[in-house]
Amino acid sequence: MLINEVVEKFNVVANTAYNKAYQELEPELKSLAYEFDSGDVKETTFPVTRIFSNTHLFTGDREHRNPADAWLFSIVNKEYDDSVDILRRDLMRAARANNITGLDLYTGSIEAMAEGAKENPFESLLTMLEFGDASTYGTTFDGQNFFDTTHDFNNAAGTQSNLLTGTGFTLATLLTDLKAAMAAMDGFTLTMNPESSLNAKLRKLNNKTGKYLVVCSPKLKPLFNDLRMMEVIGNDGATTNTLRNTFEVVSRPFTDANDWYLLDVAETRIKPFNISMEERPKLETPEMNEQQLREHKMMTWGIEGFSYGIGYGAWWKAVMTTNA
C-alpha cells in the first residue's frame, strides 16, 4: 500500500470516528447556556425586551414596542482550533504493513478532539462564572456585573442581589445558605408598566418551578452530595433536610474553592449564559502533500471553521455564594 492510499483510508476512519464522538457526547454543563446559530457575523447584538409578556387592557390605542427601545447586549464570535499530527514514520509503517490498524492511537486522539470541541464552549463559560462578580468578561445587559448587589431589569442600578455571603461549610450552614440562595432567586422581580405608577405591577422573573444545579469545587462536592441525599442534618437528627433531592451537583476546580454557585436551568431559552455559534467544528482531513511530509515529517488532521462567542445571560438565573 502506498502512503497516499493509507491517508485516503484513514480519512474515512477519522471522519467516522470524529462525527460519532461529536454527536454522542452530551456536555455536562450544557444546561447552563442557551445555544443558538448566529450565522456568518463577527458580532451579534440582542435586544432584551420581549422576554416577558406585557399583555394589558386595551383602552383604544395599541402600545407599540420596538427592539430599538430595548436594552442591548452583544456577543463577539471568535475562532478556535485543535489538531492531531500523524508522523510520517507511522504512515510508512501502515503502508508497509498494508493495514491501518497501527494508526488506532491517532483515531482515539481524533475522537478526543471531537469531544473537546463539543465541550469547549461550556467548559469555557466556567471562567466567566467564577469571575462573574467583576467586569473582567463584560457585564449583563443591565450594566452590572453578572453577580452583583444592584441588579434590576433595566439599564439602571437596582437593589436586587444575586451575590450572597455564606456562613460556613457544615451541612447545617450549607443548608441555610442554599435556602437563602433559592429564596433570593425566587424573589427576583421586574416591574410591568413602570411608566405608570397606577398600573405598575411587580412580576416574578422566575415563574417556573426551578430545576437547580449547584456548581462547586471538588472540596465542596461531597458536602453538597450529602446535603442532596440525607433525610436529616446533624447527629441528633433534629433538622429535617427539606432540600433533599431538589438539586443536582457538578464540580470543577476553581481558583477559590470556598465559593459556590446555584443556577436555575429549568427553562430552555432563558439561561445564565448565551452561546453564539457561528460555525460548528468539522474535521479537516489532509490530502497527500509530499512537501509537508518531507519538510515536517507529519500530516495534520484538525478542526475547521470553529467559531463561537459567549455572553452573560439572565442574571436572575444564578446566585453566587462567597465564603472567606
pLDDT one-digit tens code per residue, 146-205: 999 999 876 666 889 999 999 999 998 999 999 999 999 999 988 765 555 555 567 888
Pick from 66-75, 264-273, 314-323 the range whose average pLDDT is largest: 314-323
Whether residue 192 lies inside any domain: the answer is: yes
At 292 the pLDDT is 74
**What is the value of pTM for the model shown?**
0.87
Whether residue 62 lies inside any domain: the answer is: no
Whether residue 60 lies inside any domain: the answer is: no
Span 65-76, average pLDDT: 64
The residues that bridge with 265 in the sheet, in sequence order, are: none
Span 229-243, average pLDDT: 82
Span 215-243, average pLDDT: 89
pLDDT band at 272 (very low <50, low <70, confident <90, very high): very high
Domain total in the chain: 1
Whether residue 210 lies inside any domain: the answer is: yes
When mean pLDDT is compared across 8-12, 44-48, 184-188, 246-250, the lowest value belongs to 44-48
Whether residue 61 lies inside any domain: the answer is: no
Whether residue 122 lies inside any domain: the answer is: yes
Give 225 or 153, the one with higher predicted confidence: 225
Whether residue 63 lies inside any domain: the answer is: no
pLDDT band at 56 (very low <50, low <70, confident <90, very high): low
At 68 the pLDDT is 44
pLDDT band at 214 (very low <50, low <70, confident <90, very high): very high
At 156 the pLDDT is 63
Expressed as residue numbers, the domain containing 240 is 3-51+75-322
Whether residue 291 lies inside any domain: the answer is: yes
Give 321 or 54, the one with higher predicted confidence: 321
